A = this chain, B = another copy of it.
Amino acid sequence: MSTIFSKIIAREIPARIVYEDDLCLAFHDVNPQAPTHILIIPKKEIPRVAATTAEDKALLGHLIHTAQTLAKNQGLHDSGFRLVINNGPDGGESVPHLHVHLLGGRALQWPPG
């Protein structure tokens, strides 16, 4: 399994990268649904959250904590933001490489899709 996200990690495809560390990469979504719409992905090729094991808990925590840190860096801590993980057909999963959506800069509606 190798997706467009693996190519972004390998710098084979360009992306507007905003953050990188040993475990994850973050970049702007090419089809933004809000003024700020960033994807946070693990460098490890995990297709979706349903494919994670107990061993991936630390990585999952790192992704979520990184997402909220990026929200702070984007000036969204006071105005607010939403984190979204899609899994499978009903979830609207687009790319089979686990990713966390960070959306902010407008009032997100309810229900969340």
Contacts and interface: CB of A to CB of B under 8 A. Distances in A.
A109 interface: yes
Interface in A62-79: 62, 64-65, 67-68, 71-72, 76-79
Interface stretch (A1-9, A12-20, A52-60): A52-60
Interface size class on chain A is 35 or more
Contacts of A84: 82-85, 112
A60 B52 CA distance: 14
Given A58-B58, A68-B52, A91-B108, A82 B85 contact: yes
B93 A89 contact: no
A103 to B, nearest CB: 7
B92 A82 contact: yes
B57 A62 contact: yes
Contacts of A62: 57, 61
